[in-house]
């Protein structure tokens, strides 16, 4: 008698296609070592960029090459340190940080991790240094930290050309890895488009400046998302026109189980319907009655709190490729994504009061690169009366709708979609700069509304 | 911009019938008198000023009209008095210097700076384009343009670029000044019409702001872009002028012929000039905020440095290098944050939006403990804890960083706890620094905390002079044509739909 072999939760064809692209990226990179050249790896949300970065860094170290790994934010850099150690046990990783930005204790305690000063890292010739782009820049200028063989820049579509300018000096050969669908570099200046279209534009992405000056730089597109399951992929594709990708996971592998609502829950029926819809299809679009409201609308915030309370009251359990047996959903596996800081503050206070302190609440730009089982997204256009570049930004919506592994519940108002009725606004054009955040965002929002239509639940 | 505040303003203005002040203080320096400039262009000629009026605000103006600005000789000859006067004024102001002591270092900067006031931001852009055109003029047939034109071009280019600095007052567009100090019923697009804004601030007796603004917007012409009706008149006058001069450019011939065009532009400039004086007078009456002199000192320093460079024969690139652009971006972002913070910290009315949006809290200090000890890394350190009672309930997340407005340049406080307290809230805050008397409020004081602070992000080293390979093109671009190339060419024939084949026509 032979034992039954469980079917693989992974799509072998998708994995093979992704592996082929990763191999091509590394082959191109290794062929350029020692030259002033770059390789670009563009990935959709959740493609496993950090894994690519960490594995590539390990392979470069096996060749005894000196490597600098960098990312725009501290959280991204922390995550890279953890991933580097997990995928390359025994590797020595030097984390160079700004004052008060030490690694969290759990990461600092990992074998092989050290936190030298920039001067010490340079004096010792530390072979693998991780730092934020700003810290790497400062360390290069103050302490001469540099002369690496390879610079790996993670989240390279988030890093602006101004910051990259100095960091680019630390090595001749660069690997730029990033997600073109996420938020572009941003400045609070009212005329931040002053240089747009010019080669000197400091707010173009690191990838943008390299491709503009060196158009023959190879660009590889990873055809995979490991975070999103097949139900989430059609929505995610709205943000990556021309970039085809599929889920690494086969349908039905991931599942949320909720207890039945039970007697006496009629008052919570809309919330239960939303949770059931999200559990069944991976999406729910919960709509409050249309009204022009303040950015930090208390009604929307209370609805989000109630959705979360009910999610945990119904003892949500999750199953996936890593957890074949359903286990309880933890608070730390859930996040709420918003567009404004006042929304974040309001929700943080409400959730803390409700005993949901472990649920992450943050703005889209700070959620970039992070993964949760369940995400509640406060729609950027919720209750708005106007469509502007900030709220239409496709990158913001992309981040909010692509952080989840299991389900995403979008909260808005039933008049939001009507904002896109009619003709899109006139937008300025810039010679030498093709993207148009407003019109691209208009298209992406229309596509997303259409795809979410079958999942609408009226609150 | 606070949605709640804007909604409140819209309701109040609708009810009261006139615009409302956003501030109790003036946050922009206004010198007395500033140099006013009012510009008109020909439709479609972005680099050419068809008429330039200049003079002290509130005083008489001089007018430079080229007649035919597309003719290089006529254009330069008309602009020369303006250019020479501008250069003379700038040099004169820059000549008087004062010493500034910073520690043991003494430097000298102009005692004043020439402030230029224009009706709107479009004029700022127009002056920038005019400056760019004049600053890079090339020789024509071995004849160099008058140096005053080139120098004035460099000055104008500097002014227009400096106008990007948040809070600067070297080049003041009045529409922006009013938008910062007044709430109106006008959209940002409509606010570009200074007359419409002014009409909402000071509507005629018995007329609602909406109606007076609407009427002003429909009738008032501010420039520099001509409306269609103006362009039609200008076109007819230019045609007659060009026919009468028969190609002549000598002053003796041109002088008598240009009078109708001058009169046309005087009719356009007169109301704008009076409007500019009225707006400046009204805003000058408001007391200046305490930080206004500091910001104008920054302006004076920039002014002095640029005048030295330009009068010393210095040249500027037409576009920034990647390094210059990167440095400029950072140099502009820090003043923006500081300007916004200073405005709200110094001006209670400007703090209101932050209070409404939960970015600030105001209350009475109920208790103070400056002997509180917390463990920081390995040792216990002394910290101060206060309880702040607010009149209204507030929602603040724990751990939020706030600055007391009296020490906004110093260390932050962090929210430790928020509890209900009668109709309001009690907020517990901890100072993240050693408690000193200057850092601590008194019990019973009514004080404000906000997310705004004026401390610097710290000194950043400048990027390397040599650009990295990533920011350098593999193929260097071809050298550009002279900016005035084609000046001597005959104008292109007008596009006439009747003479062009229509590719979409049915066969």
Which tokens in the block code for residue B423?
Answer: 């109709």
Distance CA A318, CA A324 (A): 9
**Alpha helices in B285-321, H assignment, sequence order:** 292-311
Peptide bond before residue B466 is cis, with ω within 30 degrees of 0: no
| Binary contact (B358, A344; C-beta < 8 A) | no
Whole-number Å distance between alpha carbons of B390 and A87? 52
The pairing of strands A334-338 and A404-413 is unpaired
B418/A349 touch (CB, cutoff 8 Å), yes or no: yes
Give which of A264, A238, A277 is closest to A411, Cα–Cα.
A277
Residues of chain B with CATH 2.40.30: 348-450
- Is B34 in contact with B280 (CB distance < 8 Å)? yes
Beta-strand relationship, A317-319 and A327-328:
antiparallel
- CA dist B274 and B269 (Å) reads 9
- Residue for token digits 């009225």? B278
Q: Which residue of A has its CA nearest to B328?
A: A202
B35, B117 in Cβ contact below 8 A? yes
Counting Cβ atoms within 10 Å, is residue B348 exposed (0-12), middle (13-18) or buried (19+)?
Answer: middle
The token pair at B202 is: 């000071």
What DSSP letter does each residue of B176-228 carry, written as one string?
Answer: HHHHHHEE-S--TTGGG-HHHHHHHHSPPTT--HHHHHHHHHHH----SSPPH
Nearest residue, CB atoms, A342 vs list B166, B332, B357:
B357
User: Using one digit for the tens of pLDDT, what is the confidence trace for B274-308?
Assistant: 999 999 999 999 999 999 999 999 999 999 999 99
Q: How far is A428 from chain B (nearest CA, A)?
A: 14
Question: Testing the interface with A: which of B326, B328, B470 to mutate, by most A Cβ within 10 A?
Answer: B470
* Tokens, residue A196: 């747009």
CB-hemisphere CA count at 13 Å for B13? Answer: 27
Among the partner-chain residues B329, B468, B473, the one whose CB lies closest to the CB of A169 is B468
**Residue B230: CB partners within 8 Å, gap ≥ 6?**
B221, B268
Please tell me the CATH code under which domain B348-450 is placed: 2.40.30
Pairwise CA distance, residues B335 & B295, whole Å: 9
Question: Which candidate from B4, B333, B469 shows the least CB-CB separation from A189?
Answer: B333
Give the mean pLDDT per block of 10 residues along chain A (459 residues): 74 96 97 97 94 96 97 92 94 93 93 96 96 96 95 95 96 96 89 91 96 96 96 96 94 94 83 97 97 91 97 96 93 96 91 93 90 97 88 94 97 94 86 85 95 95
Quote the DSSP letter at residue B174: H
Residue of A nearest to B354 (CA): A342
Residue A211 to residues A8, A221, B471, Cα–Cα distance (Å): 39, 15, 10
For residues A248 and A47, what is the distance between their CA atoms, to the nearest angstrom?
A: 9
pLDDT at position B484: 67
pLDDT of residue B507: 45
Asked if A129 and A148 touch (Cβ cutoff 8 Å), the reply is yes
Give residue A285's pLDDT.
Answer: 98
* Sequence-separated (6 or more) residues with CB below 8 Å from residue B155: B86, B87, B90, B131, B306, B307, B310
Residue B355 sits at the chain A interface (C-beta within 8 Å): no
Which of B97, B393, B40 has its CA nearest to residue B230? Answer: B40
Instruction: Nearest chain A residue to B6 by CA: give it.
Output: A294
Inter-chain CB proximity A213 and B472 less than 8 Å = yes
| Smallest Cα distance from A379 to chain B, Å | 17
ipTM: 0.90
Cβ of A202 within 8 Å of Cβ of B470? The answer is no
Q: How many angstroms away from the CA of B173 is the closest CA of chain A?
A: 15
| Low-confidence residues of chain B: pLDDT under 50 | 494-495, 507
Q: What percent of chain B has pLDDT over 90?
A: 67
**Cα nearest neighbour of A170 on chain B:** B468
What are B390-424's pLDDT values in tens digits? Answer: 998 888 888 999 999 999 999 999 999 999 998 89
Cα Dmax for chain B: 92
CB contact under 8 A, B470 and A214: yes
Cβ of A198 within 8 Å of Cβ of B319? The answer is yes
What is d(CA A160, CA B499) in angstroms, rounded to the nearest whole number? 49
> What per-residue confidence (pLDDT) applies to A8?
87
Q: How open is the CA angle B402-B407-B412, to the nearest 5 degrees? A: 30
B17 touches chain A (CB under 8 A): no
Q: Which residues 6+ apart lie within 8 Å of B492 measured at CB?
A: none
CA dist B280 and B177 (Å) reads: 9
**Contact assignment for B471 to A161 by CB distance below 8 Å:** yes
Output the average pLDDT for chain B: 90
C-alpha to C-alpha distance for B435 and B384, rounded to whole angstroms: 6
Q: Is A443 left (phi over 0), alpha (psi -120 to 50) or beta?
A: alpha
Say whether B4 and A294 touch across the interface (CB within 8 A): yes
Report the sign of the C-alpha dihedral through residues A165, A170, A174, A177, in that order. Answer: negative
Q: Is B10 on the interface with A (CB under 8 A)?
A: no
**B103 CA to chain A: closest CA distance, Å?**
24
Q: What is the DSSP letter of B156?
A: H
> Three-class SS string for B255-284?
HHHCHHHHHHHHHHHHHHHHHHHHHHHHHH
Q: Which residues of B touch A161 (CB under 8 A)?
A: 322, 326, 471
């Amino acid at each position: 008698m032979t034992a039954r072999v469980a079917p693989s939760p992974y799509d072998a064809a998708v994995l093979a296609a992704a592996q082929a692209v990763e191999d091509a990226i590394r082959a191109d990179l290794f062929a350029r070592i020692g030259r002033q050249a770059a390789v670009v790896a563009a990935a959709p949300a959740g493609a496993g960029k950090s894994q690519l970065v960490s594995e590539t860094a390990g392979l470069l170290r096996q060749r005894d090459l000196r490597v600098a790994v960098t990312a725009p934010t501290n959280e991204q850099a922390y995550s890279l340190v953890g991933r580097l150690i997990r995928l390359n046990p025994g590797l020595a990783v030097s984390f160079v940080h700004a004052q008060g930005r030490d690694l969290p204790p759990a990461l600092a305690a990992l074998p092989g991790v050290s936190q030298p000063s920039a001067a010490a890292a340079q004096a010792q010739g530390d072979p693998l240094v991780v730092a934020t782009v700003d810290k790497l820049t400062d360390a290069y200028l103050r302490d001469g930290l540099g002369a690496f063989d390879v610079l790996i820049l993670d989240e390279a579509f988030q890093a602006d050309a101004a910051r990259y300018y100095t960091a680019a000096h630390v090595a001749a050969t660069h690997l730029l890895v990033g997600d073109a669908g996420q938020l572009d570099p941003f400045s609070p200046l009212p005329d931040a488009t002053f240089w747009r279209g010019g080669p000197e534009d400091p707010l173009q992405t690191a990838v943008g400046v390299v491709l503009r000056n060196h158009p023959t730089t190879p660009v590889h597109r990873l055809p995979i998302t490991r975070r999103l399951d097949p139900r989430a992929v059609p929505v995610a594709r709205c943000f990556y026109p021309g970039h085809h990708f599929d889920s690494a996971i086969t349908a039905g592998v991931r599942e949320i189980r909720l207890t039945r609502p039970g007697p006496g829950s009629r008052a919570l029926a809309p919330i239960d319907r939303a949770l059931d819809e999200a559990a069944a299809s991976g999406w729910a679009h919960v709509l409050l009655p249309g009204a022009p409201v303040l950015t930090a609308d208390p009604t929307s915030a209370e609805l989000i709190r109630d959705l979360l309370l009910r999610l945990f009251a119904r003892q949500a359990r999750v199953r996936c490729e890593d957890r074949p047996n359903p286990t309880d959903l933890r608070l730390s596996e859930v996040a709420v994504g918003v567009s404004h800081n006042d929304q974040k503050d309001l929700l943080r206070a409400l959730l803390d009061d409700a005993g949901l302190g472990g649920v992450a609440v943050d703005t889209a730009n700070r959620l970039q690169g992070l993964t949760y089982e369940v995400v509640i997204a406060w729609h950027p256009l919720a209750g708005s009366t106007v469509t502007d570049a900030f709220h239409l930004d496709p990158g913001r919506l992309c981040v909010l709708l692509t952080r989840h592994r299991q389900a995403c519940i979008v909260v808005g108002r039933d008049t939001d979609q009507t904002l896109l009725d009619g003709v899109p606004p006139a937008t300025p054009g810039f010679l030498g700069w093709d993207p148009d955040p407003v019109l691209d965002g208009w298209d992406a929002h229309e596509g997303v509304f259409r795809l979410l239509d079958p999942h609408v639940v009226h609150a | 911009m606070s949605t709640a505040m804007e909604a409140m303003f819209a309701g109040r203005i609708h009810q009261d019938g006139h615009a409302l002040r956003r501030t109790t203080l003036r946050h922009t320096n206004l010198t007395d008198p500033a140099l006013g400039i009012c510009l008109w262009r020909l439709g479609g000629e972005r680099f050419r000023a068809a008429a330039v009026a200049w003079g002290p605000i509130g005083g008489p103006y001089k007018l430079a009209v080229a007649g035919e600005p597309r003719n290089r000789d006529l254009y330069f000859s008309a602009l020369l008095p303006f250019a020479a006067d501008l250069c003379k004024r700038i040099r004169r102001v820059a000549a008087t210097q004062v010493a500034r002591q910073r520690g043991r270092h003494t430097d000298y900067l102009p005692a004043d700076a020439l402030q230029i006031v224009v009706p709107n931001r479009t004029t700022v852009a127009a002056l920038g384009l005019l400056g760019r055109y004049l600053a890079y003029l090339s020789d024509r047939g071995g004849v160099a343009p008058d140096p005053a034109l080139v120098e004035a071009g460099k000055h104008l280019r500097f002014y227009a670029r400096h106008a990007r600095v948040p809070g600067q007052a070297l080049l003041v567009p009045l529409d922006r000044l009013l938008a910062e100090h007044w709430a109106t019923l006008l959209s940002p697009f409509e606010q570009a019409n200074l007359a419409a804004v002014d009409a909402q601030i000071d509507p005629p007796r018995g007329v609602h702001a909406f109606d007076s603004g609407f009427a002003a917007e429909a009738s008032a012409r501010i420039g520099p872009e001509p409306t269609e009706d103006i362009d039609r008149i200008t076109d007819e006058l230019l045609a007659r002028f060009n026919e009468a001069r028969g190609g002549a450019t000598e002053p003796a011939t041109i002088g008598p012929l240009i009078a109708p065009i001058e009169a046309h532009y005087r009719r356009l400039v007169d109301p704008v000039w009076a409007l500019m004086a009225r707006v400046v007078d009204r805003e000058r009456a408001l007391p200046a905020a305490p930080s206004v002199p500091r910001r104008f000192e920054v302006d004076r320093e920039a002014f002095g440095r640029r005048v030295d460079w330009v009068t010393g024969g210095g040249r500027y690139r037409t576009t920034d290098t990647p390094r210059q652009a990167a440095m400029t971006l950072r140099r502009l972002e820090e003043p923006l944050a500081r300007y916004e913070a200073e405005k709200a910290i110094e001006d209670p009315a400007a703090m209101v939006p932050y209070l409404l949006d939960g970015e600030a809290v105001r209350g009475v200090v109920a208790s103070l403990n400056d002997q509180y000890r917390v463990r920081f890394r390995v040792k216990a350190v002394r910290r101060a804890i206060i309880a702040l009672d607010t009149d209204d309930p507030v929602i603040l997340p724990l751990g939020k960083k706030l600055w007391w407005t009296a020490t906004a340049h110093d260390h932050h406080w962090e929210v430790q706890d928020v509890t209900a307290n009668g109709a309001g809230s009690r907020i517990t805050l901890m100072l993240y620094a050693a408690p000193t008397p200057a850092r601590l409020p008194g019990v019973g004081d009514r004080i404000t905390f906000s997310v705004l602070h004026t401390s610097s992000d710290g000194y950043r080293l400048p990027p390397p002079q040599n650009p990295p390979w990533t920011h350098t093109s593999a193929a260097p671009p071809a050298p550009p044509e002279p900016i005035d190339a084609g000046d001597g060419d005959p104008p292109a024939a007008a596009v006439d739909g009747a003479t062009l084949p229509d590719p979409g026509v049915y066969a």
